[in-house]
Structure 1
Amino acid sequence: MLKYTVVGAGLFGSVFAFEAAKAGHQVRVIDKRNHVAGNIYTKQIEGIQFHQYGAHIFHTSNEEIWDYVNQFAEFNRYTNSPIANYRDEIYNLPFNMNTFNKLWGVISPLEAKVKIDEQRAILNGRSPENLEEQAISLVGTDIYEKLIKNYTEKQWGRSCTELPPFIIKRLPVRFTYDNNYFNDKYQGIPIGGYTQIVEKMLDHSKIEVNLNVDFFENRKELEDDADKIVYTGMIDQFFDYTLGTLEYRSLKFETEILDIDNFQGNAVVNYTDSENKFTRIIEHKHFEFGTQPKTIITKEYPEDWEKGEEPYYPVNDMKNNDLYGQYKNMAKENSKYIFGGRLGMYKYFDMDKVIFEALKTAKVELRLK
């Protein structure tokens, strides 16, 4: 009999499987897709590593996690420096002195702070009650109107006045001429893509991988065949939506292969107007400084999630978090199962945080030192 069955060959499930196998346990990993690596899956097209489920940039300040992931791949020096396109006006992200200079012509941090203070005065000192007010309190009205409002409303499918302020509380604002989006010490893209990382994790004599396997169609057999199951799918689906359905945002991707060597000059360009219904265009080759004669671009269109579609972003407002809390309590009563990952924990995770959570779970479960 298997010790563990892991439902989902994404990052959380694969890290757990790798740690369990190292500890001497027999593990089966299943996934309903025809490939491993979940949403970080990449494949080569026209010599370019193509991020099939949207851009993923690894970044962390945790040296232990950085060392851990580097045992599976060599990372390049890619630095995330996205730009915003507002009706063909180009601005640097995150909001920094380059942004402020382009917008207002200011040169010094003091001038920029004075300008923002003038604009945030519209709030009359009151605490922000929604995302719109939170954004204005951080960067003023000009940046909110040009670079936040439409992008955010496209992303979440609702007005900024209807969104909670916490969504944008960590908005990076810098009074330096620094276009590096992340503050983390370590950052990069694995040379040769992300899929290799998960493939190496699962390439172990004690791990069996079965693809194109739907957990819910084979549930009883899988439960009978393992001591414990690590479940990384949707927690509300696991309980057959008994208490209600959690909300997610989904994405639609439109990808083109172009017979030119450079389409937009940057890996990530956000479109912050209301006219374009996509939120951003990814040009994949720039993640690895590619020089191929062709290029691949992907437009990302956020959309409402419905059952049967891929859930990407949990909608972590009060209503959904309360519902998740009820499902979490139900999950605690089922000792055969371990729930983890973005869908099992109803939380959007950066990749380093997924690895951290998986290692923490493995340490407790496997009684590792």
Structure 2
Amino acid sequence: MKTYDYLIVGSGLFGSVFAHEAKNAGKRCLVIDRRKHAGGNLYCENIDGINVHEYGAHIFHTDNREVWQYVNSLVEFNRYTNSPIANYRGKLYNLPFNMNTFYQLWGVHTPAEAEEKLAEQRAEYANIECPANFEEQALKLCGHDIYETLIKGYTEKQWGRPARELPAEIIKRVPVRLTFDNNYFNDPYQGIPTGGYNRLIDALLSGVEVRLDTDYFANRAELDGLANVTVFTGMIDKYFDYRCGRLEYRSLRFDTKRLDTPNFQGNAVVNYTSADVPYTRVIEHKHFEYGTQPTTVVTYEYPDTWNEDKEPYYPINDKRNNAVANEYKRMAEAQGNVLFGGRLGQYAYFDMDDTIAEALRLFRQNIM
């Protein structure tokens, strides 16, 4: 008899939800993580009483009532609503594109005036019948002003390549609101765990054995031998020793500063959309939880080319990578005692609610 029912590789949100469900079902679980802390990219560091999102801003939002009730059964969430600001060469614009944005861009006051201006902008690109790339698709959808001011520079920084070299399907639509509504997400449920995301991870992993600073690949055979089933949440291509080729990822780099001022930018997230600013956004963490501390902490977020020494944050789901990923997924299905989950394990761009829903689905389908 093996020591554990499940070995769960990775203590991020996916692995923690799976472990929580398995423990509640009476299963013996071991969670391992190569980092020195649990929680994966959700981990928060407390600085001056401010919960600093160590690996970039995480804002929980969902239209999935089951997932919302699930997380609220574990921790209390606050009423934070994401309303980012865009800074383009010193001028500020509201996001997403709404009547405030259109007033700031064009001075229009009514939805009818905004619609007329949008139609005028789109008409310049009506001759583009089948957009060949991201730039053509975006221009056809929203016209020159919105694209050049709020989309082009940010997107090219994020992906590390010109918009003309990105596939058109990345921007299938441009959300436009003809109301003065700055709420970025349309989802009915939104917030941040009161006291930070560490509380959510701690609640999920309560009563579960966790080993940190443990490299799965350095002790693979020994660790696999401890459990009946391995739940793997790392890079699926690395698991299979890159047999079908390497998948591509985008990484991030963070420059975090503690400042002796109570309020640096007045908003949790400010996006910098011009190409001449190297970072994509500045995060002021205290505003996620309505902090009143006399100091503040800000993080400058820089998109980065990924390599083995950096964290793989985003899968690059273009045709070439998806084809390679599908080969790995077919190999994964043939593994009798290994389950793959999460952004890296499934090579999919999951938001937090998607991650939780997938972890619940995988557990329910495979419970022993």
Superposition TM-score, scaled by structure 1 size: 0.97
Give per-residue Cα distances to partners, 1:270-322, cap 9 Å, x unaligned: 00112210000000000011110000000001011012210001110000000
**1:208 alignment counterpart:** 209
Q: Distance between the aligned counterparts of 1:91 and 1:107, measured in 2?
A: 15
Q: Distance between the aligned counterparts of 2:171 and 2:195, measured in 1?
A: 33
Q: Does 1:172 align with 2:166?
A: no
Which residue of 137, 141, 151 corresponds with 2:140? 137
Q: Distance between the aligned counterparts of 2:237 and 2:124, measured in 1?
A: 42
Q: Distance between the aligned counterparts of 1:118 and 1:66, measured in 2?
A: 41
Q: Distance between the aligned counterparts of 1:297 and 1:196, measured in 2?
A: 21
Q: Distance between the aligned counterparts of 1:190 and 1:85, measured in 2?
A: 28
1:43, CA displacement in angstroms?
Answer: 2.3
1:33 partner SS: coil
Supply the AA of the counterpart residue of 1:361: L
Residues 1:51 and 1:170: Cα distance change in structure 2 (over 3 Å): farther
2:118 partner SS: helix
Give per-residue Cα distances to partners, 1:8-48, cap 9 Å, x unaligned: 00011111111111111100000000111110111211110
Q: Does 1:60 align with 2:62?
A: yes
**2:98 alignment counterpart:** 96
**2:269 alignment counterpart:** 268
**2:365 alignment counterpart:** 364
1:170, CA displacement in angstroms?
Answer: 4.5
> Which 5+ residue runs of structure 1 have no aligned equivalent?
none
1:172, CA displacement in angstroms?
Answer: 2.4
1:136, CA displacement in angstroms?
Answer: 1.6
1:44 partner SS: strand
1:216 partner SS: helix
Q: Does 1:287 align with 2:288?
A: yes
**2:43 alignment counterpart:** 41
Is the CA contact 1:43–1:193 (under 8 Å) kept in the aligned structure 2?
no
Give per-residue Cα distances to partners, 1:303-350, cap 9 Å, x unaligned: 110122100011100000001001111111111100000000011111
2:216 partner SS: coil
2:218 partner SS: coil
Q: Does 1:228 align with 2:229?
A: yes
1:293-312 aligned at under 5 Å gives the runs 293-312=294-313
Q: Does 1:121 align with 2:126?
A: no
Supply the AA of the counterpart residue of 1:190: P
1:127, CA displacement in angstroms?
Answer: 2.8
Q: How many pairs are equivalent?
A: 365
**1:108 alignment counterpart:** 110
**1:246 alignment counterpart:** 247
**2:189 alignment counterpart:** 186
Q: Distance between the aligned counterparts of 2:286 and 2:154, measured in 1?
A: 24
After TM superposition, the runs of 4+ consecutive aligned structure 1 residues lying more than 6 A away are none
Q: Distance between the aligned counterparts of 2:238 and 2:289, measured in 1?
A: 37
1:142, CA displacement in angstroms?
Answer: 0.3
1:125, CA displacement in angstroms?
Answer: 5.0
Is the CA contact 1:258–1:295 (under 8 Å) kept in the aligned structure 2?
yes
Q: Does 1:316 align with 2:306?
A: no
Supply the AA of the counterpart residue of 1:249: R
1:122, CA displacement in angstroms?
Answer: 2.6
Is the CA contact 1:172–1:181 (under 8 Å) kept in the aligned structure 2?
no
Residues 1:269 and 1:198: Cα distance change in structure 2 (over 3 Å): same
**2:327 alignment counterpart:** 326
1:171, CA displacement in angstroms?
Answer: 3.5
Q: Distance between the aligned counterparts of 1:155 and 1:214, measured in 2?
A: 29
> Which 5+ residue runs of structure 2 have no aligned equivalent?
none
Q: Distance between the aligned counterparts of 1:190 and 1:67, measured in 2?
A: 13
1:15 partner SS: helix
Q: Does 1:30 align with 2:20?
A: no
Q: Distance between the aligned counterparts of 2:287 and 2:136, measured in 1?
A: 35
Give per-residue Cα distances to partners, 1:160-209, cap 9 Å, x unaligned: 111112222253221111000000011001110001111111112xx210
1:140, CA displacement in angstroms?
Answer: 1.2
Q: Distance between the aligned counterparts of 2:152 and 2:320, measured in 1?
A: 23
Superposition TM-score, scaled by structure 2 size: 0.97
Q: Distance between the aligned counterparts of 2:119 and 2:130, measured in 1?
A: 15
1:120, CA displacement in angstroms?
Answer: 1.6
Give per-residue Cα distances to partners, 1:101-123, cap 9 Å, x unaligned: 11101111122122122122232
